[in-house]
Chains A and B, each alone.
Chain A
Amino acid sequence: MTLKDIQKQFIDFIYSNKEFSSAKKDIISPSFEDSMMIYRRHVWFSLINTLETHYESVLNLLGDKLFLKVAKEYVSKHPSNTPDLELYGFKFPEFLRKNKSISRYSSDLATIDISYVKASIAEDFEINTFQEFQNIKQDDYEKIIFHVNPTNIICNLRYDVIHYFEHIKSTQKDKTTPQIGAHENIIITNRNSDNNIQHQNISSLELEFLNQCNKGEKFINIFEKLYKIDQDINLQKILSKLIENQLIIKFTIN
């Protein structure tokens, strides 16, 4: 029996509860089943605990019992493939979306929950302020390239869950739980320069602005593209929002 054989059978037992066949003969224990269950419980506990931590508002929506049931199902189908426990469970929103037996809002709530986690661990950045942008000469406008916040996480939601999410996160809870509405919206979550995680609704036009920035398009080209979509576009208003909320963090003049 090689180390590879032992380790493969251990993993199969831990995740799939497969019988510990040939490797069992090599094991000495006063109680084989108890020994193996200690290891199995440690692993499952860590992963379920991580899901509970990452998805606080979903846990609140579903309740402890139902969340545990769903979390166990998730773990059985998604063994961890990362050494960093913080990165476990990022496919949970998608998993919830496919699960017809639970609340249809849970997937959208999970999307917001994990967007906060992703924003909190994303890379650091430096910023330019809106004041600095306003100091740019008009002649240089066509040369500006905007750089988006690397911690921006875009959430396309089917339901308006954000007030429920805020209610769960708030330390001062109102007496009544907010209702969840059924309308599509786009929320963008990011981390600002004070290391606070924040979110805001953005319009499809604002999202398109950010998409064009990501492609490295110059300001003038972005304006032309957006003007074709909406001739009443208020670019000043859009830019002010994107820069002041640090959805755009830097600009360079090329």
Chain B
Amino acid sequence: MIKEIAIPKKAGIGLRSKHHQEILETTPDIAWLEVHTENFFAKGGSTLNFLEKITNTYPISFHGVSLSLGSADGLNKEHLVHLKKLIDRFNPGLVSEHLSWTSYNGTYTHDLLPLPYNKEALNLLSNNIEQAQEFLGRQILIENPSTYLAFKSSSMSEDDFINSLAEKSGCAVLLDVNNIYVSGNNNGFDPLRYKIDKKHIKEIHLAGHTFITTSKGGKMIVDTHDDFVCSDVWKLYENTIKYTGAVPTLIEWDDKLPTLQTLLEESQKAQNIINIYDKQHDTQRHTETVY
């Protein structure tokens, strides 16, 4: 079993297959890396070999997309078993998932689908998160989603919902600042008024997005993760770091990947902001459990 290395309160990048070989060969100066957990669910082979080498060199966090914590028909036990096996073997510094659902009744969408923010959803998610944390033996982080619609049956705002969820379930929060911007634009709320209690925030994501014109001639933003972080999102991030202090921050770029050097330069922008507001430079272990 690989020894857990804490994720430092610095800027890191998402690890994508296009850069695997280069990172192994050149071992660039990167504070930490995040991988998509499901990409390493294989029983064997070169992908797991590669992950072994990477985790011996860099702090790693696991970011999942298919656990479907918001599924109305409960958690997929097989998926949890796979996830636990991977976590037990590689001991990532952080493990995160999403405030969403991806499957129902055995049919999977491989997308992060929206939930209303009401009591039913809060109880469901809280139960599922508690079950997952107990099975995995660790706290998990839940990421705020990018959404393209809202529900009339919501009885609270998204940030109030997330704060309540963290209090109720003991999970932490992965704050995706780009998602706040995307969802705020699409659903008519002010991103600057979005407030998650800083004690819950254990990681931040930054990413690019794309504007589209709707059939009615309006504008929506799609969370495409295929471009640089825009200036409005940088401003939102700066506000966030001013409020939270230094938090591990990830540049999340999944499509139309640039060179590794470009990604590192993008993460340096985040690091510059952290350096301005950071009061402490210790690494703090993110291994607190709620048991």
Residues of chain A whose beta carbon lies under 8 Å from any beta carbon of chain B: 1-4, 6-8, 10-11, 14-15, 25-36, 38-39, 42-43, 46-47, 79-86, 88, 120-125, 151, 191, 195
Contact = CB atoms under 8 A, between A and B. Distances in A.
B111 A43 contact: yes
Contacts of A42: 111
Interface residues on B, range: 35 or more
A46 B110 CA distance: 7
Interface string B92-122: 0000000001111111111101011000110
A2 B151 CA distance: 12
Interface of B: 38-39, 41-49, 66-68, 70-73, 76, 79, 82, 101-111, 113, 115-116, 120-121, 124, 148-153, 186-187, 212, 214-216, 218, 220, 222
Contact of A80 (B43, B110, B148, B150): B110
Given A26-B153, A83-B76, A85-B110, A38 B148 contact: yes
A11 B105 contact: yes
Given A3-B120, A120-B46, A32 B149 contact: yes
B107 A34 contact: no
17 contacts: A7-B101, A10-B109, A11-B105, A29-B186, A30-B216, A31-B215, A31-B216, A32-B149, A34-B212, A38-B212, A46-B111, A47-B110, A83-B38, A120-B45, A122-B42, A191-B45, A195-B49
Given A1-B153, A27-B150, A29-B148, A83 B79 contact: yes
B273 to A, nearest CB: 30
B215 to A, nearest CB: 6
B34 to A, nearest CB: 18
A219 to B, nearest CB: 27
Nearest to B154: A28
A86 B110 CA distance: 11
A88 B107 CA distance: 12
Greatest chain A CB density within 10 A among B79, B102, B104 is at B104
A79 B41 contact: no
Given A121-B42, A123-B43, 9 more contacts: A2-B72, A6-B116, A11-B109, A31-B216, A33-B215, A35-B149, A43-B109, A120-B42, A121-B45
A90 to B, nearest CB: 14
